[in-house]
Amino acid sequence: MFMNWVRKQQYQQRMNRVVAYIERNLDSSFVLEDLCTVANFSKYHFHRQFSDYAGMTVFRLISRKRMKRAAYQLLFRKHLPITVIAFDAGFGSVEAFSKAFKREIGMSPSLFRKDKSQVANLDQLQPYLQESETEMNVEIVDFPEMRLAVLEHKGPPKMVMNSVQRFIEWRKGNHLPPSKSRTFNLMYDDPEITTPEKYRMDICAELTGILKPNDHGIVEKKIPACQCARLRHVGPWESLDESVRYLFREWLPKHNKDLMDFPLFLERVNLYPEAPQNELITDIYLPLKS
């Protein structure tokens, strides 16, 4: 129990380093890779880790902290014109700042400046840990190196099934049904915090022979041999996110594991509609540093 507490404290310290770095450099343009370096987390996983820790994305937190500073400037730095405050908050015009400020605070900057009582509403910005009420079974497993035939989906998540359909056509043409070739997804992005046009996900099948030239856009990749935290999710794919969140929110802080610089991946052990939705089995793999 004590070791779990220590690990959680260490995890919190790493996240708090990021928050402190943001606050010290609030006038800077933040780059995701720099924030990952501060936290010493992989770029493939940092967004989910931070969101589950803080209750908001890292860039949402940056925006809110800039708004909080702007609010204090409005109330306590009366000599600063709203134009200057807007530029300090990273906006190119007073109009854009006013619109964002009203959306965040509920009133225009000029009205807010007249009402000091409003500042209390901006103090809810510190990260917090969300607690899960259920304990899930996570195993540490050794995953062997695996070659994959991959269709790279790039674009809105709602278009994933179009890519899946194209992948199925290739699979049928090459006689690689799921019964002969395991089915995987490499999950580069979290759709909740990634703009639709930048969302990426690989649709994959285990590859044992030679990948033939094709017109379907199928390329070869591999999952490296690695140790993984594996969590088995049973149920609809729509509820997968909660199991993924458990790994990042609960299991990872308690076990103080460092993540490999490789994306989280899924194995679709069975597939719909052959299996009913409540009996779908998906193994979630979180690659760990050895």
> Does the domain made of 2-122 have the CATH classification 1.10.1060.10?
no
Report angle CA 255, 226, 167 to the nearest 5 degrees: 115
Neighbours of 229 (CB within 10 A): 20
Lowest mean pLDDT among 121-125, 220-224, 265-269: 121-125
Cα distances (Å, whole numbers) of residue 218 to 42, 81, 118, 139, 154: 27, 56, 55, 32, 13
Confidence tier at 51 by pLDDT (50, 70, 90)? confident
Span 142-168, average pLDDT? 93
Q: Check whether 206 has a pLDDT greater than 50.
A: yes
Cα–Cα dist 187/240, whole Å: 12
Verdict on whether the full-model pTM lies above 0.85: no
Q: Check whether 109 has a pLDDT greater than 80.
A: yes
Percent of the chain with pLDDT over 90: 38
Cα–Cα dist 212/122, whole Å: 58
Domain ranges (residues) in the chain: 2-122, 138-288
State the pLDDT at residue 192.
Answer: 80
Fold of 138-288: Multidrug-efflux Transporter 1 Regulator Bmrr; Chain A (3.20.80)
Neighbours of 202 (CB within 10 A): 21
Q: Check whether 140 has a pLDDT greater than 80.
A: yes
Confidence tier at 128 by pLDDT (50, 70, 90)? very low
Q: Check whether 73 has a pLDDT greater than 70.
A: yes
